[in-house]
Amino acid sequence: MNNVACIDMEGVLIPELWPHIAKETGLSEFNLTTREEPNYEKLMQSRIASLRKHGLRLADVQQLLSAVQLLPGALAFVQQLRRNFEVKLVSITQRHFYRTSSARYRV
């Protein structure tokens, strides 16, 4: 198979994670994404500062993300894509967060 399809996890197969964290914690500052702050380093430093400010640790965030489900139709989309393409996931999703749920998806 020579055809390769590269797709992002967040916003394509699963909801964006930081807005999910914002919803679950009630902290609107986590709604910011690279759309609002294109400087990724600055955005992540802001997120880290907010996590510290509110006493949230990596384990807390991973727990919040453990409930994230595939978007409707995501599994069927990937299965259809695999008929003609080798599917590669390309994402800026942090490895620590992704590990929390990747084993459940097995798309």
Distance from C-alpha of 8 to C-alpha of 14, rounded to nearest angstrom: 9
Active site residue 16: no
**Catalytic position from the list 8, 29, 37, 60:** 8
Active site residue 41: no
Which residues are identified as catalytic? 8, 10
